[in-house]
Amino acid sequence: MKALKLTKVISVILMVCLVVTGLYVLTSCKVAVADEKTQTDTANSSDGQASDQTDQTQTQETADTTTEQTEETTEEATAPTGVKPLHVKGTKLVDKDGKAVILQGPSLHGISFTFWNSKGKETKATDYISKAAFKTLKKDWHANTIRVPVYTEDYMGYCNGGSDNQKKMLKSVYKAVDCATELDMYVIIDWHILSDGNPNNHKKEAKTFFKKMAKKYADHDNVIYEICNEPNGGVNWKDHIKPYAKTIVSTIRKYDDDAIIVVGTGTWSQDVDQVIGNKLSDKNVMYSLHFYASTHGEWLIDRAQKAINKGVPIFITECSICEASGNGSINKTMANKWMKFIRKNYIPFICWNLSNKNEASSLIKESCTKKSGWTTKQLSATGKWFRTKMRKK
């Protein structure tokens, strides 16, 4: 009996020892885990501080390229499916089958421009950027192209109107491209130099702008780039415009290898003859010619025809039937001669301008406040003339 009791006592002692040992091991493990977590958190905190310091350093180092970094996050837009990809063949704009295509339509009056009618009614140029307006132009006028002028200096320009204005202008460009794309229309993004004269004055900004546009619209067969609206003020093709164009075309081609690019020419895009024998090497570049029928007569038609005969592909990205000021008298006789020249040579053309501003070149009557669905009675004399010509293409 004593032996049995002794055995029981020893068993109890052993069980107690095992329990104590287990508790000790468990406690040690928890302490070890806690120590490891503390060390990890400390390391992570140190890494975070180092990362913050690195970020601060990188931010400081790249302060001058904020715009370039922002461009890298530009989302690509959805590509259209109902427009024909175009390319330049000889002096004509053609589709994939080599058939000549005539692009025609109006230009907006900028995207940061505001004007008032004689009764004090305000109209913004951006009021005409809508699917409804573009649809009216497509269905009723038979227009297939919209031009979107991005003024560089004039009228709160992209280059001097401040960053907030710049953002608003970009939104307007995107909206216009979206509306045109939804309607299977072509759209010209126009870097609208005017009072600045020499395109090299804002070459840096142009390079940044067209990088952004080309990255966003690389897959858009309907987007056309016009890289300098109207060089003027003594600049010429060889010394000023062509070097600028080579830089901007190269910038675009890094992202969009086949888009149509239009380059302005000297004297408000009249000196197309200066391009003869000195074109850019890019195969899908055209050269801009502008005319206003009451100012530019047969002498400019002859000059343009000479350039075409020498192999210069011309795109008339701006024209009207009034004076070069955008106002004044209308000359339909000369305008008809211009249209005959356009049709004979299959030249794409854009008329100035879609607005109800109180001037002769406006396509809408000043009294009409509608932003789409215009009747012929609501069109100006210029508007009626261009609508008729477009419908007879």
Per residue in 16-47, pLDDT tens?
444 444 444 334 434 343 344 334 343 333 33
pLDDT at 78: 62
Q: pLDDT category, 97, cuts 50, 70, 90? A: very high
Annotated catalytic residue 71:
no
Residue 297's CB is within 10 A of a number of other CB atoms, namely: 14
Which residue in 226, 318, 323, 359 is the catalytic one? 318
What is the Rg, in whole angstroms, of the alpha carbon atoms belonging to the chain?
33
Superfamily of domain 86-391: Glycosidases (3.20.20.80)
- Mean of pLDDT values over 96-121: 90
Which tokens is 273 given?
Answer: 């003859």
> What's the mean per-residue pLDDT of the chain?
85
Q: What global pTM score does this model have?
A: 0.81
Cα→Cα distances 393→103, 114, 301, 385, Å: 10, 33, 20, 13
- Mean of pLDDT values over 188-196: 97
Q: How far apart are CA 209 and CA 203, in angstroms?
A: 10
- Mean of pLDDT values over 368-382: 97
Per residue in 217-254, pLDDT tens?
999 999 999 999 999 999 999 999 999 999 999 999 99
Q: pLDDT category, 115, cuts 50, 70, 90? A: confident
Which residue in 61, 68, 182, 230 is the catalytic one? 230
The domain segmentation of the chain, as residue ranges, is: 86-391
pLDDT at 5: 41
Chain position carrying tokens 């491209």: 177
Q: pLDDT category, 393, cuts 50, 70, 90? A: low
Q: Are 234 and 196 in contact (CB under 8 A)?
A: no
- 271 class by beta-carbon count within 10 Å (0-12 exposed, 13-18 middle, 19+ buried): buried
Residue 327's CB is within 10 A of a number of other CB atoms, namely: 16
pLDDT at 13: 47
Annotated catalytic residue 36:
no
Which tokens is 139 given?
Answer: 């269905």
Q: pLDDT category, 357, cuts 50, 70, 90? A: very high
Q: Are 225 and 210 in contact (CB under 8 A)?
A: yes
Nearest to 213 by CA among 173, 257, 175: 173
pLDDT at 8: 45
